[in-house]
Amino acid sequence: MNLEDKFQELEGKEEGAHMPHVYYGDPHEEFSLRLIETLVKNGADILEFGIPFSDPTADGPTFQAVCERALENGVTPTKCIQGIKKLRNGGVENPIVVTTYYNIPYVAGVGNFLNRIREAGAQAIIIPRPQQPRIG
């Protein structure tokens, strides 16, 4: 199901969307896969699939720690994309929105990266913008 269809379905039921965020690979990949499957079975409408990044400046301390643990466990953007494929092959049909910092698609080549996540089964991408320092 694509995002537009999901939002139309929810609008018809007069419901909002439940979109839990999971940074893939914390505490390990298998846990993330089982967690996402459990979220789907228990009513998640859309999945926000986070790719861990080494300097998640737009995130708070909890997500920063999660990213650090996932990276220490060897999680890479390629493993994350493979994780999306595993979810799709395992029957997860919910829309998947990838969250990543711009550095990751930039290094991979933006077009290449977008094609890879689309081919894996993601429907959208969120790239957070770090907060700008305040002057004065």
Other CB atoms within 10 Å distance of the CB of residue 107: 10
* pLDDT, tens digit only, all 136 positions of the chain: 788 999 999 999 999 999 999 999 999 999 999 999 999 999 999 999 999 998 887 777 888 899 999 999 999 999 999 999 999 999 999 999 999 999 999 999 999 999 999 999 999 999 987 666 667 6
* Structural domains of the chain in order of their starting residue, each with its CATH number: 29-126 (3.20.20.70)
**Strand partners of residue 97:** 48, 124
- Indicate which residues carry an active-site annotation: 48, 59
Within 8 A by CB and 6+ apart from 46, the residues are 3, 6, 17, 18, 19, 94, 95, 96, 97
